[in-house]
Amino acid sequence: MSDIRNIVILTGAGISAESGVATFRGPDGLWEGHRVEDVATPEGFARDPALVQRFYDARRARLHEVQPNAAHAALARLDSEWKGDLLIVTQNVDDLHERAGAKRLLHMHGELKSAWCRACDARLPWEDDLGSGPACPDCGVDGKLRPDIVWFGEMPYEMERIDRALMEADLFVSIGTSGAVYPAAGYVQTARYCGARTLEMNLEPSQGSIFFHETRLGRAGELVPDWVEEVLEAN
């Protein structure tokens, strides 16, 4: 582990679970009582915009009640102390990585605290509800703001930057993700094919577990701080 320079870390809902944020794929197949197709697709939004806005408004409001956990804090420590290249790619739309202090971070599936205006295409920092149909601060048009979240069938953000980082990575680490959703689920294969060592930390083996050189099973809040300590000590 001592000749590592470039690290890419992929995080998913499991890293925020110990903070009290619900993961996506519960045992009942529902996401907080809703079918994913109803609340996380452009078609679901077209069918029932009020339901979808309410759903994300509730999630955005809930961010004030949750705090980063030990796993977010450990990655923020790695970010500040790691001299080589590092990119944390999160699938999460919460803001717990940045609140813990991570800087080299990218939200590939968008952010709860961002709104996207379908009239003028602006993306704006957003704290409040969208369900009331507020006017876009940029163009002034009412009722055209939607959550700036990448839904199924939409293109994740910053794909080229992620691909470049994966191709240059010496170490790829996946934390708290089921490996059920592409393109993120395929990052382990890209990184490994291009020469990276690959490590997964998750509560249970992910769907792509066989592609990793090493799997550590357990809670992110325990595994990630230990791993960060290990990596900083060895390098």
Residue numbers of the site for ligand APR (CB under 6 A)?
Answer: 12-14, 17-18, 23-25, 36, 40, 91, 109, 176-178, 180-181, 202-204, 206, 219-220
CB nearest ligand APR: which residue? 14
Q: Nearer to ligand APR by C-beta: 6 or 177?
A: 177
Whether residue 109 lies in the annotated active site: yes
Which residue is catalytic, options 34, 97, 109, 213? 109
Question: Cβ of residue 213: shortest distance to ligand APR, in angstroms?
Answer: 18
Q: How many residues does the chain have?
A: 235
Of all helices (H) and strands (E), which one includes residue 91? none
Residue 120 C-beta: closest distance to ligand APR, Å: 25
CB of 111 to ligand APR, least distance (A): 12
Rounded CA-CA distance 99/113 in Å is 12
As given in the structure block, the two tokens for residue 59 are: 């999630």
Closer residue to ligand APR, CB minimum distance, 152 or 193: 152
**Nearest residue (CB) to ligand APR, 79 versus 94:** 94
173 CB contacts (<8 Å, ≥6 apart)? 7, 8, 9, 10, 198, 199, 200, 201, 227
Q: Of 44 and 176, which CB lies nearer to ligand APR in the complex structure? A: 176
In angstroms, the CA 225 to CA 11 distance is: 14
Q: Closer CB to ligand APR, residue 209 or residue 235?
A: 209
Distance of closest approach, residue 206 Cβ to ligand APR, in angstroms: 6
Q: What is the C-alpha separation between 150 and 162, in angstroms, rounded?
A: 16
In the complex, least distance from residue 37 CB atom to ligand APR, rounded to whole angstroms: 10
How large is the angle between the packed helices 220-234 and 70-81, nearest 10 degrees?
20
Exposed/middle/buried for 194, CB within 10 Å: 0-12, 13-18, 19+? middle
Q: Nearest 5°: phi and psi at 67?
A: -125, 155
Active site residue ranges: 109
